[in-house]
Structures are given as structure tokens and as C-alpha cells.
């Protein structure tokens, strides 16, 4: 059978938009402001920026370079790329499984959460929650929609499931049409529209008038002050540094395997230095400038300095689906503003989720020579089935468990492995030459030292701190409610089975390669 021709990007703008779209997600507009406000305000930005320059930027360049290098050998996923880097080690390709496993695990719960934003976009225009201005009422509305309770707003999970089906199908359709016909085309439209929605909301927040005449200090300026005035004592806390570095992983989509796959569709002479930096910078604009300028300052104006602290720590779901609608429902044109808010979140979500689907699809295409359309159909069926526990057992902690292993722990493990391969096995001199091949930007030489020594040490520190502080309680489920233990255990068994199946597929793929006569595929 002839080897299938790999897809490609049509332009530099296309891949920058796609990588930036992968990075710009719900975390930019919900997770970042909540983490910053809850971890020392302006002081949080110090470890955040340190992590950005010592972890985020190096990992971004590492993944763009490794992805382009692997694509030259017909590999678009980590098992093949890792194998090409360290051929003498026959086990390294199994570490690369994380680059398929992680995105798949995130996809199977992220798509459901993303579908809530699509539903709320519709609810905003329809005025379904327009009359609810208090946070308690909106919490009740959200719980009913999620199927956590039956109330006057919802009596079943039906509406949530309907919007999940729509969001899931949209993801599959975009991925089905390929790199340039689907993902690139979609991101070129979705990302600019996202920034338009964010701009509208930012202007509205900046022009907010204090609705509480007796509280003159409740204003936008003080709202920004609450978020950015530094509490330098927070810098002494290891937790703040871990939260900041974790946010960098989360926001840039590094350590997942997605950027490796996206970059594999570049040609050998395509730039990775300036393109990678541009994509990362677009994400930072969305997060630090836009994400931090909407929800927390607006909440400060309406709820004041006392309640804002509990709001900032209430969790991203409450921030997005309770606090923000409560604020917007007090304003003129609440339906339009609500649509902009949830439309913004939906576009941020879907540009990320389509990227999460790509590694598994690319693995089937590259290693099993399966056509794009057939690979997407297989992925769609399998991932649809895997999505069901996150939907029906949300209240039992399944989503949190999936998020920890797929979206937190394995990100750091994967990033540590690829940094070691890049700086020590491939060799920093060879890596430095590879990274600058066709580059439009000369990276400062200090990054040669950072990539080889500082970044891996930083990653080992994060892992070490996690094992020291969190290992025992998490493994033995000490913080899990007794009634949820069976669900969490079943989730972990399911994750082990997914990883095992992927390991078997990798083994089969490499066995096929050995058995294939030279000149044939």
C-alpha cells in the first residue's frame, strides 16, 4: 500500500493561528484571573513571568523544533518523534504515548465543558436566564443544566446532552476536513472573532459605572488594583510558584503533544523560532491583557473588596457561569453581552479541543497508513464513548480526576522527557542548529544554557514538590468523599486501560515497520 501524502499548512499565519488557538482556551479568561487573584495578586505575575521565560518559551521552541524534525521522517506524534531522536533506546517510544494519551483524556471532558459555553450562548440570546440577577439563582440554574439537581429551570440532563452532541459534532467536522481545509481555515476565522468579542467586553468593563453610590471605592480602577497590587509575602510560598508554573503549562498547551503534531506538518525550511514566539505572545495578550481585564475588575465593581476574594476562589465554573452572567444581567443589552461572553469562551474552547483530537488522528494516519477520513471516524466513535463518564458522573468527581492526570500531572512528565531528549540525547549543539534552520529570529545564546540546564531542573523541581506535597493524599484518595471512591477508582482503571491500548498499538505499529520490506509501506 502506498504511503499517504501528509497534509500541510498553507501559510505561516495558518499555523500561528492554529497553535495560538490551541493555547487560547477557557483557562485564559477564567483560570488565569482566578489564580492571580487568589495567589498574591500582582505578586503572582512574578513567578508567572519567570515560568514563562524559563519554561513556556523554551518548551514552545522545543516542541516546534521536535515536531518539524519528526514530520520530516513522516511522524506526527511523540512515539515516532521520540524514537527518531533516540533510536538506541527501544522503550522511549512508549514514553511518547503520553503525547497521545494526554490530549485524548483532556478531549473527553473538555468537549463537554466547552458545550456548556455553546448552550449559554444560546441561552443568552434567548433570555433564558435574563431575569436571574443574584448568584444563588444562577448557581441553581447551572446545577439544573448540568443535571446535578432537578429544579424550576431544568428537570433532566437532556438540554446539556443536546448541546454536547452539537459541540462534539462541530469538533469532528473541523478535524475531518484536515489541517488546511479544517483546522487552519476554522482558526483563521475563530481566533479573530474571539478577540473581537473580548474587545467588546473589555470596553464595556472599562466604562462600568459604580452601581453602589454608597461605596465610591467600588470602581474599575480599584478592581484592577485588587488583581495587580502585589502581596510580596506570597512569593515565599512554594504553592504560588507551583500554581504559576502550572498555569504556564495549561495556557500555552506545552507538555501535551499537540504542538509536536501541529509542527510536524511544517516543511524543513519553515521558521519555528519567530512563529513559536508569535503564537506564545498572542496567547499572553489574550491571557494577561484581556483575560485579566474582564471578569475580576467587573466583579469588584458590583460586589466590592470583601466578597471579591471569595468569588476569586470560588472556582472557574462559578466565575464563568455564575458571577459573570450575574454582572451582565444588571447591564443594558445583557443578552448581547452575554452572547459575547459565552461566544468568546466557546471559540476559545473549540480552537483548543480540535487541536486535542489531532494527535490521535495523526497517529493512525502516520503509523497505520489509515486515511484521514477513516481515522477521524474511528476517533469520533471511540472518543464519543469515552466522553460519557464525564457527562453522567460529573457530580462524582470524574472530571476533576481526568483533569488531574490528563491535564496536569502527565503534562509535567511529558515536558520533562522531551526536554531531556532535546537537550541531552539529541544534543544541545545539534538541537541549536536544528532550531535555527530556516529561522527568522536568532535566539539569544543564554537560552542554550536555559534549555539544557535550567528548564529541566525547573521541571524536576515541580515534580519533586508534587511528590513531596501531594503524592500520598492523591494516590490513596484521602480527599475523596467515600461515596465517590468507586467512581474515582473506576476512572483510574479506565485511564490505565486507555494507556495500555495505546501501548499495544505502538508495539503493533513498530512491528509492522520491521516486517515491511524496504521500498514498501
- Per-residue model confidence (pLDDT) at position 3: 64
pTM for the whole thing?
0.94
Say which residue the cell 468569588 belongs to: 311
Confidence of residue 356 (pLDDT cuts 50, 70, 90): very high
Q: Which three cell numbers stand for residue 465?
A: 514538590
Q: What is the DSSP letter of 211?
A: S
H/E/C letters for each residue in 88-157?
Answer: CCCCHHHHCCHHHHHHHHHHHHHHHHHHHHHHHHHHHHHCCCCCCCCHHHHHHHHHHHHCCCCCCCCCCC
Average pLDDT over residues 352-368: 97
CATH number, domain at 428?
1.20.1740
Q: Is residue 500 part of a domain?
A: no
Q: Is residue 136 part of a domain?
A: yes
Largest CA distance in the chain: 82
- How many CA atoms does the CB half-sphere of 23 hold within 13 Å? 30
Confidence of residue 517 (pLDDT cuts 50, 70, 90): low
Give dist(CA 87, CA 410) in Å, integer.
23
Say which residue the cell 515516532 belongs to: 80
What would the pLDDT profile of 396-444 be if each residue is shown by its tens digit? 999 999 998 998 888 889 999 999 999 999 999 999 999 999 999 999 9
Give dist(CA 391, CA 421) in Å, integer.
37
Give dist(CA 419, CA 447) in Å, integer.
13
Confidence of residue 512 (pLDDT cuts 50, 70, 90): confident
Q: Which residues pair with 41 in a beta bridge?
A: 230
- Per-residue model confidence (pLDDT) at position 467: 78
Q: Is residue 33 part of a domain?
A: yes
115's CB contacts (< 8 A; 6+ apart) are 160, 163, 164, 166, 167, 168
Confidence of residue 237 (pLDDT cuts 50, 70, 90): confident
Q: Could you give the angle at which helices 334-368 and 485-515 cross, rounded to 10 degrees? A: 40
Q: Which three cell numbers stand for residue 149?
A: 439537581
Cα 206 to Cα 94, 174, 226, 336, 406: the distances in Å are 50, 35, 15, 17, 37
Q: Which residues pair with 230 in a beta bridge?
A: 41
Q: Is residue 182 part of a domain?
A: yes
Average pLDDT over residues 158-168: 98
Q: Is residue 394 part of a domain?
A: no
Q: Which three cell numbers stand for residue 309?
A: 476574594
Q: What is the DSSP letter of 434?
A: H
Give dist(CA 521, CA 519) in Å, integer.
7
- The CA radius of gyration of the chain, in Å to the nearest whole number, is 23
Average pLDDT score, the chain: 92
Q: Is residue 1 part of a domain?
A: no
Write the DSSP string, 241-270: HHHHHHHHHHHHTTTSSHHHHHHTTS-TTS
| Contact present, 277 and 23 (Cβ < 8 Å) | no
Give dist(CA 439, CA 392) in Å, integer.
48
Q: Is residue 149 part of a domain?
A: yes
Average pLDDT over residues 198-218: 90
Domain count for the chain = 1
Instruction: Return the closest-CA partner of residue 280 out of 53, 26, 41.
Output: 53
Give dist(CA 166, CA 118) in Å, integer.
9
> Which range marks the domain in which residue 342 is found?
12-388+400-467
Q: Which three cell numbers stand for residue 6?
A: 501528509
Q: Is residue 504 part of a domain?
A: no
- Per-residue model confidence (pLDDT) at position 516: 62
- Per-residue model confidence (pLDDT) at position 2: 57
Confidence of residue 479 (pLDDT cuts 50, 70, 90): confident
Amino acid at each position: 500500500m502506498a504511503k499517504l501524502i501528509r497534509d500541510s499548512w498553507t501559510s505561516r499565519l495558518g499555523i500561528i493561528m492554529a497553535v495560538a488557538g490551541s493555547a487560547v482556551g477557557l483557562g485564559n479568561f477564567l483560570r488565569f484571573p482566578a489564580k492571580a487573584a487568589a495567589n498574591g495578586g500582582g505578586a503572582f505575575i512574578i513567578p508567572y513571568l519567570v515560568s514563562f521565560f524559563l519554561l513556556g518559551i523554551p518548551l514552545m521552541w522545543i516542541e516546534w523544533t521536535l515536531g518539524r524534525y519528526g514530520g520530516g521522517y513522516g511522524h506526527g506524534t511523540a512515539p515516532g518523534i521520540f524514537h527518531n531522536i533516540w533510536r538506541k533506546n527501544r522503550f522511549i517510544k512508549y514514553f511518547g504515548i503520553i503525547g497521545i494519551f494526554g490530549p485524548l483524556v483532556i478531549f473527553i471532558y473538555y468537549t463537554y465543558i466547552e458545550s456548556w459555553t455553546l448552550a449559554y450562548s444560546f441561552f443568552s440570546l434567548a433570555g433564558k436566564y435574563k431575569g436571574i440577577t443574584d448568584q444563588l439563582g444562577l448557581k441553581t440554574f447551572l446545577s439544573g443544566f448540568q443535571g446535578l439537581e432537578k429544579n424550576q429551570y431544568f428537570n433532566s440532563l437532556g438540554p446539556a446532552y443536546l448541546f454536547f452532541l452539537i459541540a462534539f459534532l462541530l469538533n469532528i467536522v473541523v478535524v475531518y476536513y484536515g489541517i488546511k481545509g479544517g483546522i487552519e481555515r476554522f482558526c483563521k476565522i475563530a481566533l479573530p472573532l474571539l478577540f473581537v468579542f473580548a474587545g467588546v467586553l473589555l470596553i464595556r468593563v472599562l466604562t462600568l459605572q459604580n452601581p453602589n453610590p454608597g461605596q465610591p471605592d467600588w470602581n474599575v480602577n480599584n478592581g484592577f488594583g485588587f488583581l495587580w497590587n502585589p502581596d510580596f509575602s506570597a512569593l515565599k510560598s512554594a504553592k504560588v510558584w507551583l500554581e504559576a508554573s502550572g498555569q504556564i503549562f495549561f495556557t500555552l498547551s506545552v507538555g501535551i503533544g499537540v504542538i509536536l503534531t501541529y509542527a510536524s506538518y511544517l516543511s524543513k525550511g519553515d521558521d519555528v523560532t519567530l512563529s513559536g514566539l508569535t503564537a506564545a505572545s498572542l496567547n499572553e495578550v489574550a491571557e494577561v491583557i484581556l483575560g485579566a481585564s474582564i471578569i475580576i475588575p467587573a466583579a469588584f465593581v458590583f460586589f466590592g473588596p470583601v466578597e471579591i476574594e471569595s468569588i476569586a476562589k470560588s472556582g472557574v465554573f462559578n466565575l464563568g457561569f455564575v458571577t459573570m452572567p450575574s454582572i451582565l444581567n444588571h447591564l443594558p443589552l445583557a443578552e448581547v453581552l452575554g452572547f459575547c461572553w459565552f461566544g468568546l469562551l466557546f471559540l476559545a474552547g473549540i480552537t483548543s479541543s480540535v487541536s486535542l483530537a489531532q494527535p490521535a488522528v495523526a497517529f493512525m494516519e502516520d503509523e497505520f497508513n489509515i486515511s484521514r477520513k477513516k481515522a477521524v471516524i474511528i476517533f469520533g466513535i471511540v472518543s464519543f464513548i469515552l466522553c460519557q463518564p464525564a457527562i453522567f458522573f460529573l457530580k462524582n468527581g470524574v472530571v476533576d480526576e481526568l483533569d488531574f492526570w490528563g491535564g496536569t500531572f502527565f503534562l509535567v512528565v511529558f515536558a520533562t522527557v522531551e526536554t531531556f531528549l532535546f537537550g541531552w540525547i539529541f544534543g544541545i549543539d545539534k538541537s541549536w542548529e536544528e532550531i535555527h534552520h530556516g529561522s527568522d529570529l536568532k535566539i539569544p545564546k543564554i537560552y542554550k544554557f536555559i534549555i539544557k540546564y535550567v528548564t529541566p531542573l525547573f521541571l524536576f523541581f515541580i515534580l519533586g514538590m508534587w511528590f513531596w506535597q501531594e503524592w500520598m493524599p492523591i494516590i490513596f484518595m484521602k480527599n475523596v468523599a467515600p461515596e465517590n471512591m468507586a467512581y474515582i477508582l473506576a476512572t483510574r482503571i479506565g485511564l490505565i486501560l486507555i494507556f495500555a491500548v495505546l501501548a499495544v498499538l505502538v508495539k503493533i505499529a513498530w512491528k509492522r515497520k520491521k516486517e515491511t520490506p524496504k521500498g514498501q509501506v
